[in-house]
Amino acid sequence: MLDAALAETVLKFPVDIQPFRDMINGMRMDLFKSRYFNFDELYLYCYYVAGTVGLMSVPIMGIDPGSKASTESVYNAALALGIANQLTNILRDVGEDASRGRIYLPQDELEQFGLSDDDIFAGVVTDKWRAFMKDQIKRARIFFKQAEMGVLELDKDSRWPVWASLLLYEQILDSIEANDYDNFTKRAYVGKWKKLITVPVAYVRAVVPPSVTRLAATG
Ligand SMILES: CC(C)=CCC/C(C)=C/CC/C(C)=C/CC/C(C)=C/COP(=O)(O)OP(=O)(O)O
C-alpha cells in the first residue's frame, strides 16, 4: 500500500532519488553507530534521517509561482527544518536513547561542558547539564529560524501545515526548558490547549504576508 502511494507520488512529482538513498544510508548507519564525535557527524546523521524528508517534500509541496526566492534557498530552508526537527527529537529523547545505550549528542561538546557518557547514563540534572542543554536548544532554534524564511516561499496551500508543524515542534524545546532540562526522566511535549492555539496562529502566518504581521507586532 505504502509502496503504491510512493510510486504514484514519484511518478506525479519531480522527486530526486538521492535523498531516498541518503535516508537508507542513515538508517543503516544508525544500526552500528551510537556515538557522535562532533556536531559535523551529528549533522550528517540528522541530514540522512530528517533533512532528506525536507528535500523530498519541496517538489511535492511546491514553490509559490510568485516567489522571488531562489530554488536553492527554499531547499536549504526545507533541509533546515528537517535538521531542526531531528535535533529537537534528540534533545527530547536523551533519557530514552540512553536506556538503549545511545547518545546522539556531540561528544566534544559534552566534554567542553565537563560532561561524559557516565553523566548521561546517571541521568541527574546538574548545572553543567543545564548549561549544555541551553547551548543545544539555542542551536536547534537557529535551524528553526532558517526554516521559517522558506515557509513563506512555499505554495500557498502548503504553508499552513508546514507552519503548524514547525511551531508545534519548536515548542517541544520550550517544554524541555519548562521541565528544567530534565530530559532524562521527563518527556517534553506540547499540551492539548497549546496545540489548539497553534493551529490558527499557523493559519494567520500562512495567509498574511510577513510585512503586515511584522508591522502589527511592532505596533
Ligand atoms: C520549510 C520548507 C521550505 C519546507 C518544508 C519541508 C518539510 C516538510 C520539512 C520537515 C521534514 C521532517 C518532517 C522531518 C522529520 C524529522 C523527524 C522528527 C524525524 C523523526 O524520525 P524518528 O527518528 O523516526 O522519530 P522518533 O525518534 O520519534 O521515532
> pLDDT digits over 156-192, tens only?
999 999 999 999 999 999 999 999 999 999 999 999 9
Distance CA 103, CA 33 (A): 10
Phi-psi region of 64 (alpha: psi -120 to 50; beta: other; left: phi over 0): beta
Provide the grid cell at 82.
528537517
List ligand 1's pocket residues with C-beta within 6 A. Answer: 49-50, 53-54, 57-58, 74, 77-78, 81-82, 85-86, 89, 93, 147, 150-151, 154, 162
> pLDDT digits over 12-38, tens only?
888 889 999 999 999 999 999 999 999
Instruction: Using pLDDT thresholds of 50, 70 and 90, give the confidence band for residue 199.
Output: very high
Q: Domain residue spans in the chain?
A: 2-218
Which burial class, exposed, middle or buried, applies to 59 when counting CB atoms under 10 A from its CB (0-12, 13-18, 19+)? middle
Distance CA 152, CA 122 (A): 43
Q: What ipTM was reported for this prediction?
A: 0.90
Q: What is the pLDDT of residue 2?
A: 67
Provide the grid cell at 104.
546522539
User: From the CA of 127, how far away is ligand 1's center (Å)?
Assistant: 30
What is the fold of 2-218?
Farnesyl Diphosphate Synthase (1.10.600)
